[in-house]
Amino acid sequence: MPKPVGTLLVITGSMFAGKSEELIRQVRRALYARKKVQVFKSALDNRWDSAAIATHNGVRFEAIPVSSSADLERLVEPDTEVIAIEEVQFFDEGVVALCDRWANEGRTVIVAGLDQDFRGQPFGFMPVLLALADEVIKLRAICARCGQLASKTQRLVDGRPASWDEPTILIGAAEKYEARCRRCHKVLNAPRNGHRRARRNTQTQATEPAEQQERLF
Ligand SMILES: [Zn+2]
């Protein structure tokens, strides 16, 4: 039998779109096919606990928390056939070349991540990952306001839309998020040429580590 051709599958969309459920479905299929699978997630993702992928509907799946692409590279074993990564947008940019290389080696790489930040702008390196993908599954949520299909993630501070100038990734903050359609999605102080200014706000801002129970972007 010829050596398998690798593939890079990116599962994307807003929050509450079912990305984790789709990743888990893909991982389950690989396990049924008796593949050697390793599942990773960003150590920044502390939604429920540190050892499992937890989806919004309560499904859980064991995953190894890692904090950098260097750690990923170190932890993937030589005979692993399927590599799955949750919340890939939280990693450093090195994860892009790594995913591409693993696919070139003949492995199946399945990653899930947000394609847009709370401003509705492209999220970090995600556009590059989407371009390099062999397959993209883009999922939509349901708008929490009007019930139509939603592609945006609304950040709320004390129930009000967050401001454009806030950092893209917030850890330990008290913000809330919901899925919104284009019409209901709101960003305070958004500039007209928003796309160009968005690139200045891509760094992580962390508060106290003890407060990192809530994983937010
Ligand atoms: Zn709406």
State residue 47's pLDDT score.
Answer: 60
Q: 158 CA distance to ligand 1 centroid (A)?
A: 20
State residue 106's pLDDT score.
Answer: 97
Q: 137 CA distance to ligand 1 centroid (A)?
A: 22
Give CATH for domain 7-139: 3.40.50.300
Exposed, middle or buried: residue 124 (CB in 10 Å: 0-12, 13-18, 19+)?
Answer: buried
Predicted model pTM: 0.84
Contact criterion met (CB below 8 Å) for 153 and 116 = yes
State residue 110's pLDDT score.
Answer: 98
Q: Of the residues 86, 87, 166, 178, which is catalytic?
A: 87
Longest dimension (CA), the chain: 59
Distance from C-alpha of 126 to C-alpha of 96, rounded to nearest angstrom: 8
Is residue 135 among the annotated active site residues? Answer: no
Distance from C-alpha of 142 to C-alpha of 149, rounded to nearest angstrom: 5
Distance from C-alpha of 72 to C-alpha of 82, rounded to nearest angstrom: 13
Ordered per-residue pLDDT tens for the chain, 217 residues: 777 899 999 999 999 999 999 999 999 889 888 899 999 999 887 664 545 655 565 555 678 999 999 999 999 999 999 999 999 999 999 999 999 999 999 999 999 999 999 999 999 999 999 999 999 999 999 999 999 999 999 999 888 999 999 888 876 667 899 999 999 999 999 998 655 554 544 444 444 333 333 344 4
Domain boundaries, the chain: 7-139, 149-211
Kindly give, in sequence order, each residue whose CB lies less than 8 Å from that of residue 145, ignoring residues fewer than 6 positions away. 178, 180, 181, 184
Chain position carrying tokens 């599942």 = 39
State residue 167's pLDDT score.
Answer: 87
Give CATH for domain 149-211: 3.30.60.20
